[in-house]
Amino acid sequence: MPANLTPQYYEAEDRYRRAKTTDERIQALEEMLMVIPKHKGTEKLQGDIKKRLAKIREEGKKKKSTAKGYDPFGVEKQGAGQVVLAGYPNSGKSSMVTALTRAKLKVAEYPYTTAIPAMGMMPYKDTWIQLVDTPPLMEDNVPSGLIGTFKEADALLVIIDVSTAECLEQYEGLMKVLQDRDVIDLSKEGELIAPIPFLVVANKIDYREANENLEVMKDLMPDFDPLSVSINGKGLEELKERLYNLLDVIRIYGKSPDRPADMERPFILKRGSTVFDFAGQVHKDFPEQLKNALVWGSSKFDGQPVAREYVLEDGDVVELQL
């Protein structure tokens, strides 16, 4: 007997696939169970949903029971990628996150305002990028746990305050700490197996003497080429684009047969991902069932049939053929 699943069920299933937290997964599964047609053709699917629901609830209980081991420097990833900020005291990290995400972080003129990581979501096109503010980082002051936050990130945003005469010392100090702790790799040999990609910005460029300080840094370091920004607007749109490119991800839009593509909620994949990889994000069982796909965008013509190994590009629309 056919399942005859309803649009409400598919919407709940889509929310389950995109869920980032345990509570979101539980809520989506409960809704799937509530709206699924109750007949013989869906009995197996109902059982599968109940098993998944029980497993996730049990995992949630285990996490709560180990709450004593909570790590304040661990930040759950959300959105298209996680970008962690690094900088000296009063370099403008919190103000930058606030300007880009509208998150209400504590901003003050005195140093060490940020004690533990705090996050906000930055909109970019039709997706979101997670920005994480962190406690100040200096050569002689590396907060316990902060290096782990950096190493778990998808990318780093290194903030240099060019309004101060100590901007060169800031840059050299940050690079030394991150290099010595194996977070980034500045060696020409590329010794680290998985260094974190990073972007350096010259912040507070609208302040007096900022441009002069920046020119001095460039004279002393000819290869130094940061993006000049100000929370008042200068360079912020370019910063968003460069952070997205730094994450090295692509947006892929799903399409069901005989239905328009969902252009509002893209799937996020690493650059170089294939149709096969995309199928695994849509549903865990789809890679095994996948025959080929139709692609709009990077293909030679709209709706071109492609193989499972076809490499997708940012903005592609994909209809899976199962």
Q: Residue 216 is part of a domain; what is its CATH number?
A: 3.40.50.300
Q: Across residues 117-143, what is the average pLDDT?
A: 89
Give the range of the structural domain holding residue 231, as residue numbers without chain letter: 82-247
Residues 215 and 242 occupy one common structural domain = yes
Average pLDDT over residues 256-262: 89
Angle at the Cα of 161 (from 208 to 236), degrees rounded to 5? 90
Q: Residue 22 falls within a domain, yes or no?
A: yes
Residue type, 276: F
CA dist 191 and 184 (Å) reads: 10
**CB contact at 8 A, 172 and 220:** no
Among 69, 93, 121, residue at a domain's last position: 69
Question: Are 91 and 190 members of one domain?
Answer: yes
The secondary structure of the chain in percent helix, strand, coil, rounded to multiples of 5, reads: 35, 20, 45
Same domain membership, residue 114 and residue 236: yes
Please say which residue of 18, 38, 69 terminates a domain: 69
Whether residue 226 sits in one domain with residue 160:
yes
273/303 same-domain check: yes
Residue 284 lies in a domain: yes
Residue 75 lies in a domain: no
Residues 206 and 271 reside in one and the same domain: no
CATH code (residue 28): 1.20.58
Give the DSSP H or E segment for 27: helix 22-35
pLDDT given at position 111? 54
| pLDDT at residue 81, as a whole number | 94
* pLDDT of 228 over the 90 cut: yes
Alpha-carbon distances, residue 106 vs 4, 73, 171, 173, 307 (angstroms):
51, 17, 24, 25, 51
Residue 233 and residue 97 in one domain:
yes
Question: Same structural domain for residues 286 and 256?
Answer: yes
> How high is the mean pLDDT of the chain?
87
pLDDT top residue among 110 and 107: 107
Instruction: Give dist(CA 320, CA 322) in Å, integer.
Output: 6
Q: Which of 23-27, 75-79, 275-279 has the lowest mean pLDDT?
A: 23-27
Mean pLDDT of 206-232: 93
Rounded CA separation 163/166 (Å)? 9
Instruction: Give the integer Cα–Cα distance in Å for 160 and 158.
Output: 7
Task: Tell me: do 219 and 266 sit in the same domain.
Answer: no
Here the tokens at position 259 are 């239905």
Q: Is residue 240 part of a domain?
A: yes
26 vs 211 pLDDT, higher one = 211
Please indicate, yes or no, if residue 77 is contained in any of the structural domains. Answer: no
Give the confidence band of 106 by pLDDT, cuts at 50, 70, 90: low
Q: What's the confidence (pLDDT) of residue 92?
A: 92
Residues 107 and 222 grouped into a single domain:
yes
In this structure, what token pair is assigned to residue 139?
């050569």
Q: How many domains does the chain have?
A: 3
Domain limit, last residue, from 47, 69, 91: 69
- What CATH number corresponds to the domain at position 308? 3.10.20.30
Q: In which element (H, E) is residue 251 found? A: strand 249-254
- Residue 68 binned pLDDT confidence (cut-offs 50, 70, 90): low
Does some domain include residue 117? yes
List the structure tokens of 312: 């997708």
> Does any domain span residue 180?
yes
What number of residues does the chain have? Answer: 322
How far apart are alpha carbons 129 and 282 in whole angstroms? 21
Shared domain check, 257 and 240: no
Torsion, Cα 22 25 26 32, to 10 degrees, reads 180
Query: pLDDT-derived band of residue 108, with 50, 70 and 90 as boundaries?
Result: low
pTM assigned to the model:
0.74
Is residue 315 one of the residues assigned to a domain? yes
Shared domain check, 209 and 150: yes
Give the pLDDT of residue 317: 97
